[in-house]
Amino acid sequence: MPRWIQAQPQGRTRQSCEGHTVSVVERVLYILFGKHEDDGGNVFCPPLTVLDTNTMILSTPAVDPPGRQRQTPNDREGHSAAVIDQRIYVFGGTWTDHEDITLYMNDLHILDTTCKPPAWSRPPRTPSNSPPMEREGHTAVVVGHRMLVFGGTWVDEEDKSRYLNDVHVYDATRNWWSQPDVLGTPPIEREGHTASSIGRNMLVFGGAGLDAVDHPINLADLHVLDTDTWTWHQPILGSDVLPQERRYHTASVIDRRMYVFGGQYYEPTADLHFECDNVVSCLDIESMSWDTLQVDGQAPLRRACHSAGVVGKRIFIVGGRYWDISEDDYIFMNDVQLLDTTPCSTFATDWRAYFNNAHLSDIELRVDGRPIPAHRVVLAARCEHFSRMLMSGMKEAESVCVTIDGVRHEVFACLLEYMYTDVVDFAPEIALELLTAADRFGLERLKRECINAIESSLRVSTVCHVFFVADQHCADDLKAVCLQFITSNFPEVIRTEGFQGLSRELLDQVHFAMANRHYPDTEAKLKKEVHDGQPLERTAAKLGQLSLGNGSRRDWPQLALWADRGNVATSGCDDPK
């Protein structure tokens, strides 16, 4: 099952922003441009930020060192970025300056990542080879050494948005733009969509555009452009399940599966945009079937205008924005989230098939008179107790049937299942017995799981018995939790049968903890007195007295019970008023 991981990059933090791009070159993320808005409403474009996914270190390289002519492109957002031979080709975008003038761009810039530090350049323009018209919200994908630009939007002289569905090709080997004659039915004009290269095809999903009467619409359609024949077609879907319509989302392809995350949709009745749920929609490219993924871990905040890059089996989600209702404004983000699509281990599933299965079994364990088939190699590999038994010349080493005493069948079956699969679900009521068995057979990790289950289910009526068992099996962490529970609920715990049955040694520990709870330095002082040879009776009396420092007369016999149980005289202590 895929899982979410919140990355913790080291180094210089990038400003929160939207409308940026993420390009991956040899496991390094290049985060380019975007828009950041501070608390005062000032807008600016963050510098190039680099994230090395091997070291998880963020850095901001100096792409315009002193003495070198400035080559860095103008600020922008809503641009595209595509990687060809370790060079990042940035095209178009838009920027609104401090005078609220919006500029749409169609310039092309190249960031050469083979240079140290990376270096910007701009390929020369020729009058006979013009680039596509200005735009933002378009996409660019790479097929071979060609960059395909599709769609986007621009604003005409009447300040009206115009959506595009044209296809342009930039040949990086020739520095040449062309516009192929495309056949088939193209997608409607759109912006904020995604485009992914699948072999020699371009797969377009979603976005936003206008319907036949020029009303804004959200899209969740799929279109494929075959670059060998330059033909559009709309694939037949393998299921009726469709993701929510959206724009400004991300779509990342790993192993013939496209993972869609985030984005926003327009709600015409409210005339507002809303972020999509933070679920992951997945398209199986072979069957063209959509599915909503079940993902482990804490899902990121919903967002739009973020960006994503793929490294191996992991998708890095960077930044974006969301609408905060309480603030009545967009909140920009700078977090880095990982969606790890690495297939889960099948170890537990594979070995579970052999648990309590006579197939290939070479030993029988008899517990409570009931047989359990097992495999010597599993027992010896997973448990030092059985390893010594089966390989040390003991009679059990030659026997095909070994009797296990001192543990119930239900409990041992859980322990054996854990040995086969490394996971086990057990009922809370057997956790203490399973802890005892895990300690006996030396399964420390199972012992830790039992402790976690027991800690969350402590009760006044059982805590003293748990305290006793934890002491018997050297579960110090569990003992500490029991002590804290006992001291926090002392008036109730002291009346239980379990408390009455505690040994003097454990009672000493309880009352040291009680005294230290009221007087933090008491425990160390009293332990030092005992260590220095002070009479135990005198120290005990002090402890009883200190424990009553802010108590009532009525509490005195109860709090001094440990001294009575130990036949320690308390007559030297005054009953505190």
Question: What secondary structure does DSSP assign to 499-540, as a single string?
Answer: HHT--HHHHHHHHHHHHHHHSTTHHHHHHHHHHTT--HHHHH
3-class secondary-structure state, position 251:
strand
pLDDT band at 39 (very low <50, low <70, confident <90, very high): confident
Tell me the one-letter amino acid at 301.
L
Q: Which has more confidence, 326 or 481?
A: 481
* Domain ranges, ordered by start, for the chain: 3-340, 345-457, 503-577
Task: Report, in angstroms and rounded to the nearest whole number, the Rg of the chain calculated over CA atoms.
Answer: 34
Tell me the pLDDT tens digit for each residue of 195-229.
999 999 999 999 999 998 988 899 999 999 999 99
Report the range of poorest mean pLDDT among 387-401, 402-416, 504-518, 532-546.
532-546
What is d(CA 267, CA 244) in angstroms, rounded to the nearest whole number? 12
CATH fold of 345-457 reads Potassium Channel Kv1.1; Chain A (3.30.710)
412 is written with which tokens?
Answer: 């041992």
The pLDDT of residue 524 is above 60: no
Instruction: Report pLDDT digits (tens) over 254-287.
Output: 999 999 999 998 887 777 778 888 999 999 999 9
User: Would you tell me how many other CB atoms lie within 10 Å of the CB of residue 99?
Assistant: 5
Indicate the pTM of the whole model: 0.69
Tell me how crowded residue 236 is: count the other CB atoms within 10 A of its CB: 7
pLDDT surpasses 50 at 566: no
Query: 3-340: what CATH class?
Result: mainly beta
pLDDT of 549 strictly over 70: no
Beta bridge partners of 257: 254, 284
The pLDDT, as a whole number, for residue 265 is: 87
Nearest Cα residue to 529 out of 510, 515, 543, 548? 543
Average pLDDT (567-572) is 34
Rounded-to-10 torsion of CA 62, 67, 68, 74 = 60
**Of 319-328, 463-472, 540-549, minimum mean pLDDT range:** 540-549
Contact 543, 512 (CB under 8 A): yes
Which among 335, 284, 343, 339 is positioned nearest to 310, based on CA atoms? 339
Q: CA-to-CA distance for 124 and 80, rounded, in angstroms?
A: 19
304: pLDDT strictly greater than 80: yes
Three-state DSSP class for 135?
coil
CA distance 434 to 413: 10
Average pLDDT over the chain, rounded to an integer:
88
Farthest-apart Cα atoms in the chain, separation:
109
pLDDT of residue 13: 85
Neighbours of 507 (CB within 10 A): 16
